[in-house]
Chain A
Amino acid sequence: MNQFGVLYRYEWKKLLGKRIVWISFGLVVLMLAIAVFSPLWGGYYIDGKYMGTNYEIHQEDKTYAKALSGREIDQNLIAETINASRKVPKDLDIHYFATDEYQTYARPYSEIFVFLRQMTGMMTSELMYSWEPDIDDLFVKRQNYLQFWWKKLRLSAGEITFWNNRENQIKTPYIYQEYGGYDAVFSCYQGVGFFMLMLIGICLSGVFTDEHTRKTDQIVLCSPLGKTKLYGAKMAVGISFSALSAFLLLAFYTLCAFCLYGAEGFNAAYQFRDALCSDPLSCGQALLIEFGVLLITTVLVSIFVMVLSELLHSGTATLAVSAGLLLLSIIVRVPQQYRVLAQIWNWLPWSFLSPMNVFGNYTLSMFGHYFTPWQAVPVLYLAAGAIIVLIGRPVYQRFQVSGR
């Protein structure tokens, strides 16, 4: 154990001694800072007319959202919202945002308007204007919309029952809370994860291969612990690096988002952010779950990258495969009609970065129980990680030093 500690420390030293690690980390921090600040930069124009700076627009929206904070989504509030939105003139030559009516009456309710639209699936404003606001009808419409959505996803009868039960656990009436900071974090979550996985690919693809390119493998592999404890120490350093980087980058991004957009909204229902989610979660709980999921995802990907590099004996090839998989996850969408394939694709680490997949409706059924994606996938990832570690061990141990 003592030697493991020493080896672990020196493996860290090797990793942190690489300039590429610091440069990549710095670049990711810069990218995240740009991602979190950019929505507030510049001015807002409609048809060439300057409406104010993005920061001013955001501050006004935030003031309106704060004014609504603490209000129940009840008959009064939905009636106020719909009636206010009806005051916006129709068939205009200009954008609705530029009208005085929108600014005076509808804009203060825009958060609730968007929520109602997403809850009911009435995606055009015309449908919303013509809707006679009724709190009971709101839930009927939501239920219909969910049934339509679940059918589209090809959920089984058991899954639908499971989600109906989860839906019934959601505390109603919904109470609106301003949650701008959480929304900012969720909006860029996939981007944060993307940068994290790129960082892992760049930094960890050399953990094993550097020994071969530097030709230090000869002295390492013929030492008593070079084939045994060193493999574990290298793996442990790669995993620690990934988890620590993910934690630091997430903490940095979240702190920036909270400072700029506010930290309120921990208890806001997650449905304000994603109306199709039937998990009885608050935004705060969902964010903590996302944190955990990303940490476990980075652990799996770090293991995958390190073992792949040892299989390919090339850091560059490993990086190319990692980047290729990341890009594929962005480009490729498996149609929902291919249920099994779509579920597998959505649950792969590169796709699972999206909150839509983490809090999606596909489930894992085992022993008569159904598990949500965020319950099942981290366990599957940990199991997959352990298997990949076991596969990589003999590959590392059987490496042959030849042809130099």
Chain B
Amino acid sequence: MELIIDRVSKQYQNHIAVDRISAKLQKGVYGLLGENGAGKTTLMRMICGILQPTSGSISFDGMDVSEESYRAALGYLPQDFGYYPEFTGQDFLLYMAALKGLAKPQAKKRAAELLQLVSLEDVAKKKTKTYSGGMKQRLGIAQALLGQPKLLILDEPTAGLDPKERVRFRDLIKELGAECVVLLSTHIVSDIEHIADTVLIMKHGQLIWQDRWEDERGSLEDFYLQHIDEEVRS
């Protein structure tokens, strides 16, 4: 199980959003840190195949990002996305399950499991337009897990969640990391400190640091701020 990002760049006219990033991600949780505009979301979109790189290639277990089989192995939670207001939570998951190619009985079973996992089973039959921000975020996490993905891309997964839910989802992501490749981005450094095996730091579209994070190194937040500052000074 390996995600290979090979010299991937994304250029918009005069602006380079992602600059020749290469990485090999294996089973485990990868925390992606970086300031706003560092290129995290752009990189994640390219990994999800919804944004074409200007150059470079992305593959997962030999499958190119453009292939349907690649998308079948993928679960994606975007940073900011909408819902269908006329759908209930259950409708939304069944619709997403159909998009992921799940057969009807399997889809129903999986949707019920996930609604329970994200504590939305009581409001499963309510329309999503009545959901709070946190409930919508939990529904988003549920849809990302629908197809039992081998590659899970989570852009700010804990945004909008209350502290209790955050801790629960941190644990869940950690569990998922034992089974698949999880790449998550967040502004909350402590989230990454708790669950990520490997930390990646992006700045101005470049990957400036990538290594396993050991507790002996001290505080990740301090390390991150220090690293960013060093980069600024240099």
Contacts and interface: CB of A to CB of B under 8 A. Distances in A.
Interface of A: 2-3, 6-7, 10, 13-14, 17-18, 213-228, 230, 398-404
Nearest to A216: B82
DSSP class of A's interface residues: helix, strand, loop or mixed?
loop
Contacts of A7: 95, 98-99
A404 B12 CA distance: 13
B72 interface: yes
A221 B81 CA distance: 13
B42 interface: yes
Contacts of A402: 12, 42, 45, 51
Interface stretch (B23-31, B85-93, B115-123, B164-172): B85-93
Given A17-B85, A219-B78, A222-B71, A3 B50 contact: no
Nearest to A233: B98
Given A17-B85, A219-B81, A219-B143, A230 B45 contact: no
B52 interface: yes
B187 interface: no
Nearest to A15: B86
Nearest to B71: A224
Interface string B203-229: 000000000000000000000000000
A225 B100 contact: yes
Contact of B81 (A216, A224, A225, A403): A216
B42 A225 contact: no
B125 interface: no
B20 to A, nearest CB: 19
Most chain A Cβ neighbours within 10 Å, of B12, B85, B86, B143: B86
A13 B99 contact: no
B76 to A, nearest CB: 5
B87 A13 contact: yes
Given A219-B143, A222-B71, A2 B80 contact: no
Q: Which of B78, B91, B98, B147 has the most CB of A within 10 A?
A: B98
Given A218-B50, A222-B48, 15 more contacts: A2-B103, A2-B104, A6-B104, A13-B91, A17-B85, A214-B82, A215-B82, A219-B78, A219-B143, A220-B99, A222-B76, A223-B147, A225-B68, A225-B101, A401-B51
A223 B143 CA distance: 10
Contact of A214 (B48, B49, B51, B83): B83
Given A6-B94, A6-B104, A402-B51, A216 B71 contact: no
15 contacts: A10-B91, A214-B83, A215-B81, A216-B82, A216-B83, A218-B76, A220-B99, A222-B48, A222-B74, A223-B99, A223-B147, A224-B99, A227-B71, A399-B50, A402-B42
A224 B98 CA distance: 9
A262 B162 CA distance: 68
Nearest to A226: B99
Interface in B19-78: 42, 45, 48-52, 68-69, 71-72, 74, 76, 78
B96 interface: yes
